[in-house]
Structure 1
Amino acid sequence: MLSHGTVVPGSWLNMFGTTALLLFLLATTCATAAPNCPPLGPVFEKPRNFKSSAAIRAALANLTETFQARDEDNSAAVRANITSYSLEVFSISDTDPVIFDWHHTAPAHASSNITNGGVKKTDADTVYRLGSLTKIFTVYTWLVQDGDVKWNEPITKYVPELAKAADKAKDDPVGNVAWGEVTVGSLAEQLSGAVRDYGLMGELTQTVDQNTAVQLGFPALNSSDPTLPKCGVWPHCNRTEFFSGLLQVYPSYAPFTTPAYTNTGFQILAYALESIKGKPFQTLMEESILRPLNLSRTFYQKAVSNLGIIPGPGTPSDAQWDYQLGDENPTGNMYSSVRDISALGRSIMRSTLLAPVLTNRWLKPAALTSEPNAGVGYPWGIRRIVLSSVTNGKRVVDAYNKAGRIGYYNSLLNLLPDYGVGFSVLLASPNLPANANFNLADVLGEQLLPALEEAAREQAQDTYGGSYSNSNSNSNSNGVGNSSLKITTQPDRPGLGIENWVSNGTDMQYMATVLAAGYAPVIPSIRLYPTGLETVIPGEMDRKNGRAATQGKRVAYKAVFEDLNVPSRTPPSMFSTDCGSWVSLTGVTFGSMPLDQFFFVVDGSGKVVSIENAALRMVMRKG
C-alpha cells in the first residue's frame, strides 16, 4: 500500500523532466492494474435513477421471475403452500420511495374455511408480528427521547435494583453480573454479559412438567428452590419478580468481553428510560416514533386481528397472535406491516427524527464477532458484503439488519446506507423454514446490490463525467495556468477516476501519486469518493421575476492516490495489508490545503459547473 505523509526530496523529483515522465508512463501502460482500495462507505453518490437504470430494471425483472417461481414451490425449503409473506424494497428518494414489492398469500391462509380471523390476502398494510425486530423501535425511542449522551454511563445510575446489587460481583464475579460496569450502551449493543432471558424464552420449567424434565436428563427441582422461576411465560413477571430472579442468575461473560444476545437488556433499557423521562415506555415510543412517522399499522401491544395475517390451522393463540410479553414487550412484542417497517427504515437513513451525526454514530459497528464478515451494532446485526464481481474484491458494503421471530412469525429490516436503500420482510407460517427471513434477503441482495452499485456508477458518470479546464491559458493570480483533467468511471473500479490531470503544465496525475507514495509509481491511479460534505450555494437573482434562482451546492470529494502495480495480497497476509487507504487520507498538503480534496460546484438544476483542487487553488470549468 502507499505510505502517507511522505515528502519526496526535491533533488529526486528533479531527476524527472516532463518528457521523461511521459515516456515512463507510456512504458508502463501494459502492466496489469491491481484493485483500487476505497475508504469505507459509498464510492458514488446514492442512486436516484431507479427507473432509468438498465441495471435496476434488469434486477427487478429477475426478482419478479424468481418470486413467481418461489410462490409455486412447496418444497421444505420454501413451503409456499403454507407460508405467507410481504416484502418491500424502499429508498430515501422522494420520487421512488418503493422500488419493488411482493406479496404472497399461502393457499391455506386464503381459504374461506379458515375461521380464526385475519386477512385473506396479504398486501403492504397487512400486519404481522415482529419478534425481536421490536428492539429497533426500542433503541430508536431511546435515541429520539434522550440521544446517546448517557450510553457510557453505568446502568445502575437509572435502575435502583441493579445499583443495590452492584457490589456482589466484587466478591464473586463468577456468580454475579458486575452491574456497576454495565453501561446503558452495552445493553443496546449486546455486550453487557448478562443472561439472555429470565423465566421466559428457553426456560424449560415454564414449558415442561417435572416428569418430562427428568426424562430429558434434568434433575427434579424442589418447588422451594430459589432459582426456580415462579413467573415468566405465564404469569408474566412484574418488575419486582423480574429483578428478584435476574439477580440470582449467573452472568454469561464479564461486561464488554464478547457479544452475547440478551433480551433482558432491552427490558432494562425501557425501565431506565422510564426513570429518566417519568413516563411509561409505551407512551414514550408512541410520542417519539409511531405518531411522528404516522405508523398507523404498528402496535406496541396487541393489534386488531382483522388487520393481520393469522396462519392456521388452529386459533390465533396457536399462532401466538394474542400472546404478550408483559414487561419484556420492548424486546420482542410488536406488530407492524412492511409499509410501516419501510417507513421506519427510511426515517433512520434520512435522519428524520435524529440529527445526522447521531444517525452516523448509530449506524456504526459496536463490536466484531468470530465470523469475519459479521459485526454487532445497537442492536444491529451487521453483514460486511464484498462486491467482488464489481470492484475486484476491495469494495465492502455494510448492511445493517435486525431480524425477529415469535410464534408463527418471522421478520427482517435491512438497511444499506451506502445506497440509501433498504428492505423489509415479514412472514407467517405454522411451519416456517429455517432462516426464512434471511433466505429472502439473500434473494433480494444477490440481485439488488450489484445493480445498485452499477446504477450509482451510471448516475455518477452522467453527473460528473467529462473534461474540465481553466478558462484561459494564462496563469491565475497564484501562478497556476494550463490546467485540465478528465473524469470517468469504469464498471470494475470504484469512485470517479481522474485522467490526464495537468496543473501548470505538470503531469499532476503522476506527481500527486509520487508525493503521496514517496516513490516513483508504476501505475499511478487517482479515484475520488464522496465525503458527505455539501454546502448550499444561493442561486443568482432571476432578472425576469426578481426572485432568487434555485440554489446550487458545493460538494466535497476525497481522492485516494495509489500505485496499482503493488501486488495484491491473496490470500491476505497475517498483518500486512494492501488496502489501508484510510491511513493515507490528507497525507500531503500545500499551504495547509489538502492535495486530495476536490470540490464540485453543482447548479440548481443538478448540472456540474466546475471542479477545484484545494491545494492547487485552481477552478476548472466543465466543458
Structure 2
Amino acid sequence: MKIPFLLSVAAATTVLAGPNCPPLGPVYEKPFNFKTSSAIQAAIANLTATFTAWDQNNSTAIGSNTTSYSIEVFSTSEEDPTIFSWHHTAASLARATNTSGVKEAGPDAVYRLGSLTKVFTVYTWLVQDGDVKWNEPITKYIPELAAAADRAKEDPVANVAWDEVTIGALAGQLSGAIRDYGLMSEVTQEFNQSDAVGLGFPPLEESDPLLPKCGQYPQCNRTEFFNGLLRAYPSFAPFATPAYTNTGYQILAYALEAIKGKSFQAMMEESVLQPLGLDHTYYRDPPVEQGIIPGVQSESGWNYQLGDENPAGNMYSSIADISSLGRAIMRSTLLAPVVTRRWLKPATMSSELLAGVGYPWGVRRVAVPYANGKHVVDAFNKAGSIGYYSSLLVLLPDYDVGFSVLHAGEAIPGNSNFNVADILGAQLVPALEAAAREQAEAKFSGEYVDEGRNTSLRLTTQADRPGLGVENWVSNGTDMMTNAVVMQGGYAPVNPSVRMYPAGLETVAEDGTKRVAFKAVFEDLNLPARTTNMFSTDCGTWVSFTGVVYGTHPLDQFIFHVDADGKVVSIESIALRSVMKKM
C-alpha cells in the first residue's frame, strides 16, 4: 500500500510496538464483582490459609506470640467495601495486666501510625487549600526561612537554598533538607556524652551552638526548631534527589497555619477526620482504652508525642478508619477528581528502577505478567513506625482497591509491614486483573454491526494479553484493522493488532445512560521485542495516540453506549461516523 506523504511524516513521530503495549492506567474497567469472581475468592482462600499459618508460628520472622496485627483489603465499591480482613491478637497482649488498653485486635482497635501520618497531613493541605500553591517557594509563608534564604548564595554547601524549595518539594521529599532536628537520629538525644564518645564521636561542649538543647525532652518550640534547623547542612540541592525529611512536614503545617490562620490540628479534624467519620483516628492523645498497647505502656511509645513535628508521624488510628481513608482518597470524596489524579502521581523517580516518590507516597511499579503483552500497575504506599508500632497503607488506583496493615508488638520483626504487603500483593494483583477481565468479557465481548454502512467489528478478551481485542474490523467492506496499523506506522506489510483500553472519560445522562470512551492502540506484531536496549523501546505507544485523524476525529477513539442497567448497546467509531449495535 502506498502511504500518503503527510501520514508517513506523522508516523515518524509515533511508535508501533511489537508486543501489546497499553497506556499507563487500567486496561479494563475497574472490577466490582468481588464476591462472584472465582479469582478473587481463590485469592481470599489463599490469604486465609497463609495468615492462619502465620498466627500459629512464633518464629522471628512473624513473632505471633508478641505481635498483634490487623489487615484489611478494601475497595471503593458500595456493595463490597471490605474484600478481606484479618486480625491477630498476640498471646502476650491477651494476658497482659499492665495496660488499660484493649485485649483483642479488631477493626476499631487503635494503633500508632508513625509516618503514615504524612498522608493525613497532605490530605489536610489539599482539602484546605488545594495544590495551586505547590510551585510557590516556602519562603513566601515561613518568615524564618525567608530571612535565611540568602545564606545559600554565599555558601550552598552549608545552607539550604530555601528560596528554591517549594511547597510541593517539601511534600514530595525533594527539599534536600535534613531529615530531623533534635528528635530521631540525633545521637546526643539518645546517649550521654561519655556513651557517645565511647561510640567514636568527639566530645561536644555544652556551649556548642550545634548541640541541640531540645528535641525529645524537652521538645523544641518553633523558635528553637528554626534556630537549630538553619544551622544544619543540607543533604542535597533542592530537587536533586529524593531524601526523606520529617522536618519538611513540620514546615508544611506551619505554612498552612500561616495561610489559613488556624491550628493545624483543628484544620485536620474539621476538614478530614470529622467529614469522613474517622471516629477512631486521633492527631494526638487518644483514649487509652481504645488502644492496642503491647508490653509496658510507658515503654511502648503509646504516650510519646512529637510536639511540633506531629504532622510528620504522631497520629493514631484503627484499621477500619485507615481503610475508610483509602476509600475516600480513591473516591475523591473530599477533593475534585483531577486533584486526586494529580496527587496519585510520582513527584520523582528514585534510584531503583521500579520505584518512585510521591506526596508523600512511595510508588512501586508492579508488573502484571502477560505472555503476549505488558502492563504496569502503580501502587502508592505509605509506611510508618514508632515505638512498638508499624503501619502501612497501599492504594491500587487501577482497581480502586487498597489494603492497610497495622502492627503492635514489643519486638516487631523488621520490615514486617512490607512482608505482609508482599503476601497480599502476590495474591491480589493477579486476581484483580483476572476479575476485571472476567467482567470485561461479560460486558463488552461480542459482535457489533452497522448494517447500513457494511461496518462491523468483534470484541474479545484473552487471558494472555491486556485490554479488549478488536477482531474483524470492517468499514464499508474494507479491512480497517490493517489500514489503521499501516497508516499509523507508515509502512506495509504488517501483522495488525488493535486493542482498546479505558480512557477515563464518561458522560452520564439524566436517564442514567452513559457514553464511555475507550482508546485503541494500533500495533504491528511483527516488530521485534526490544527489552534490553538502552534507549529504544517496544512499549512507547503513548506517543502514538491520535496518530490517524479523519475530519478532526481520531481513528483510535471509540465510544461505548451503555443503558441505565449497565448493559452495552452499541459502540461508536467517531472517525468513521459509525454506530455499531451490539448483536
| AA of the residue aligned to 2:62 | V
1:562-603 deviations in Å (ceiling 9; x for gaps)? 011111123x20010010010000111000100000000000
What SS is found at the alignment partner of 1:317? helix
Residues 406, 5 of structure 1: alpha-carbon distance in 2 compared, 3 angstrom cutoff? farther
| AA of the residue aligned to 1:7 | L
- In the TM superposition, residue 392 of structure 1 has moved relative to its aligned partner by 4.6
Task: Give the distance between the partners of 1:144 and 1:411, measured in 2 at CA.
Answer: 23
Question: Which structure has the larger Rg over C-alpha atoms?
Answer: 1
Task: Give the distance between the partners of 1:5 and 1:419, measured in 2 at CA.
Answer: 42
Return the TM-score normalized by structure 2.
0.97
1:166 to 133, 149, 171: 149
CA RMSD of aligned residues (A): 1.4
Partner of 1:322: 303
What SS is found at the alignment partner of 2:328? helix
Partner of 2:14: none
The answer to whether the 8 A contact 1:409-1:429 is kept is yes
| AA of the residue aligned to 2:459 | I
1:372-391 deviations in Å (ceiling 9; x for gaps)? 00000001000001112x35
The answer to whether the 8 A contact 2:374-2:465 is kept is no
- In the TM superposition, residue 308 of structure 1 has moved relative to its aligned partner by 1.0
The answer to whether the 8 A contact 2:18-2:523 is kept is no
- In the TM superposition, residue 538 of structure 1 has moved relative to its aligned partner by 3.3
Q: Which runs of 4+ in 1 moved over 4 A?
A: 3-6
Which structure 2 residues correspond to residues 370-389 of structure 1 after superposition, within 5 A?
370-388=351-369
- In the TM superposition, residue 393 of structure 1 has moved relative to its aligned partner by 6.1
The answer to whether the 8 A contact 1:266-1:331 is kept is yes
Are residues 1:120 and 2:80 paired?
no
Partner of 1:49: 33
What SS is found at the alignment partner of 2:297? coil
Return the TM-score normalized by structure 1.
0.91
The answer to whether the 8 A contact 2:446-2:582 is kept is yes
- In the TM superposition, residue 118 of structure 1 has moved relative to its aligned partner by 1.1
Task: Give the distance between the partners of 1:498 and 1:125, measured in 2 at CA.
Answer: 48
Task: Give the distance between the partners of 2:536 and 2:273, measured in 1 at CA.
Answer: 48
Task: Give the distance between the partners of 1:427 and 1:146, measured in 2 at CA.
Answer: 33
Task: Give the distance between the partners of 1:142 and 1:6, measured in 2 at CA.
Answer: 48
Task: Give the distance between the partners of 1:515 and 1:622, measured in 2 at CA.
Answer: 27
Task: Give the distance between the partners of 1:522 and 1:167, measured in 2 at CA.
Answer: 61
Partner of 2:382: 402
Which structure 2 residues correspond to residues 450-529 of structure 1 after superposition, within 5 A?
450-470=430-450, 472=451, 474=452, 481-529=453-501
Are residues 1:558 and 2:539 paired?
no
Are residues 1:616 and 2:576 paired?
yes
The answer to whether the 8 A contact 2:18-2:538 is kept is no
Task: Give the distance between the partners of 1:392 and 1:355, measured in 2 at CA.
Answer: 37
Are residues 1:213 and 2:175 paired?
no
- In the TM superposition, residue 435 of structure 1 has moved relative to its aligned partner by 0.4
| AA of the residue aligned to 2:43 | A
Task: Give the distance between the partners of 2:569 and 2:165, measured in 1 at CA.
Answer: 53
Partner of 1:594: 554
2:129 to 146, 165, 175: 146
- In the TM superposition, residue 115 of structure 1 has moved relative to its aligned partner by 2.1
- In the TM superposition, residue 316 of structure 1 has moved relative to its aligned partner by 1.0
1:412 to 389, 392, 411: 392
Task: Give the distance between the partners of 2:252 and 2:266, measured in 1 at CA.
Answer: 15
Question: How many residues are aligned here?
Answer: 574
Which structure 2 residues correspond to residues 222-621 of structure 1 after superposition, within 5 A?
222-312=205-295, 315-388=296-369, 390=370, 392=372, 394-470=374-450, 472=451, 474=452, 481-539=453-511, 551-570=512-531, 572-621=532-581
1:90-114 deviations in Å (ceiling 9; x for gaps)? 0010000100000000111111x43
What SS is found at the alignment partner of 1:340? helix
Task: Give the distance between the partners of 1:521 and 1:372, measured in 2 at CA.
Answer: 36
Give ranges in structure 1 of 5+ residues lacking alignment: 10-32, 475-480, 540-550
Question: Identical aligned pairs, as a percentage?
Answer: 67
- In the TM superposition, residue 411 of structure 1 has moved relative to its aligned partner by 0.2
The answer to whether the 8 A contact 1:8-1:514 is kept is no
Give ranges in structure 2 of 5+ residues lacking alignment: 10-16
Task: Give the distance between the partners of 2:142 and 2:245, measured in 1 at CA.
Answer: 17
Task: Give the distance between the partners of 1:488 and 1:516, measured in 2 at CA.
Answer: 23
1:112-151 deviations in Å (ceiling 9; x for gaps)? x432121111111110000000000000000000000100
Task: Give the distance between the partners of 1:391 and 1:409, measured in 2 at CA.
Answer: 41
